[in-house]
A and B are shown apart, each in its own frame.
Chain A
Amino acid sequence: MSTDDLLSPSLRDRQEAEARPPWRLSSQVWIGLLGGALPVTVIGWLNAERLGLERERRTWILVWGAVGVALTLLAVGWAVVASRGDASAQRTWTRLASRAVGLLTYLAISRVQAPADRAFRLFDGRPYASLWGPGTAAVLLLGMLQALGAMALTRWVAQ
């Protein structure tokens, strides 16, 4: 790599961070726990825009989110099979599986956001935005959407 290349501008084409400050990374864990993989992915994606994350890194959020949702559906299918018709066990295992995968998705997605999040804390000086409103909405709406999908899958597996 030549010096000329090093000294050519690279921040010009960069996606500028949004004017709104990002959400705290550690708060997003609750969305993974309570809502599952789908809402934590959507919140992570929106936060990546607020952080001005590079496009390539941002794609990784979608990749991990897709893996998380697929794993959730797989785990739910497994829970249905493993509980052998016991409705209460099925509910418990479905919920646990969705939470476990939601938390793992959070871990993956928060790693993608971490460098930009640290840069925000170090350089920006503004406080974080509150995640209460958007987080609750994501958990209720998208968590429910994911639960409905899982329920449809449950019916299909059970047949």
Chain B
Amino acid sequence: MSAGDLSAAPLELAERYLEIERPEEALAALARATPDEDPERYHLLRAEAHLLAERPEAARDAAALGLAVEPESIPLLLVRSCCHERLGELAAAEESLLGALRQLPDEPALLCRYGRLVARGGQLDKARRLLAEARRVDPDSREAARLAMLLDYLAGDDRAAAEGGRRLLADDPEDSHGVAMLGLTLLERGDHGAAREVVVPAAALDPERLGGLAREARIRTHPLLWPLWPLQRFGSVPVWFGAVGLILVTGRLASPRVSSILALTYLAWCVYSWVVPPLLRRWVVRRGR
């Protein structure tokens, strides 16, 4: 057996551990290897392991060590970009991602990833141009469909975002990411029943990712919150204008007495809307434990 085989074995082992999401074992395997044989792969695996173990700082440093040896490595640039993004360092994430994108400017997945990053930074127009570019290269790209939905959601176009989400799920009903985005969009629109129908069954299959959203959908469709539907449907400001208008008109047309009963009812309803939802949320969280 040659020396090359001996040092390659730990890397393969680490790869297997990462596939089954056991980062600490992967790092232990890598500790037995030396970087010299295949530095790109060695540092990449270390970075991925740290990232999987929720240590983005360590992962970023591991990727930087690899990039010092292989400055043009696309996988290393991408993993470093991901670390920076996780740490909220958007400008550094952009620099790494562009390093990869300049080598593969026609790759829809990378274009979409960049679109997502600039969208996170608030640059929705540029994100839309990147989306158009990705679709020019591949009109059926699934990443592009996801980015389109994200951009509609961020721009506040919940109707378009929900349509995009339904199309994504029509292609692949078990896509957790699509379920999460669609559920979030439907909750945002005040369409809580539909959100519950989408999210709760999917959460049974992927509780880790969708459990929190399913709980939120359950809370918002609870019978105790039914009296608050105008708030969810119209928003607090239009409801205030409606209530005050009604109180003023009845005071003028009917009697001051009817008007003050209405005012007291509205006030009681407001108090209900402050007190009941937080209590219900606390109760559901406690029961869920």
Interface residues in chain A, defined as those with a beta carbon under 8 Å from any beta carbon in chain B? 1, 3, 6-12, 14, 16-17, 26, 29, 33, 52-54, 57, 96, 99-100, 103-104, 106-107, 111, 114-116, 118-119, 122-124
Contact = CB atoms under 8 A, between A and B. Distances in A.
6 contacts: A7-B98, A11-B93, A115-B154, A118-B153, A122-B153, A122-B184
Contacts of B150: 122
B225 interface: no
B236 interface: yes
B256 interface: no
B237 A6 contact: no
Interface string B251-281: 0000000000000000000000000000000
Pick from B105, B122, B133, B237 the residue with the most CB of A within 10 Å. Answer: B122
Nearest to B155: A115
B123 interface: yes
Contacts of B129: 1, 6
Contacts of A16: 90-91
B236 A10 contact: no
A100 B245 CA distance: 11
Interface in B72-101: 88, 90-91, 93-95, 98, 101
Dominant secondary structure of chain B at its interface with chain A? helix
B244 A124 contact: no
Given A7-B101, A10-B118, A115 B90 contact: no
B124 A115 contact: yes
A54 B101 contact: no
Pick from A3, A11, A33, A122 the residue with the most CB of B within 10 Å. Answer: A11
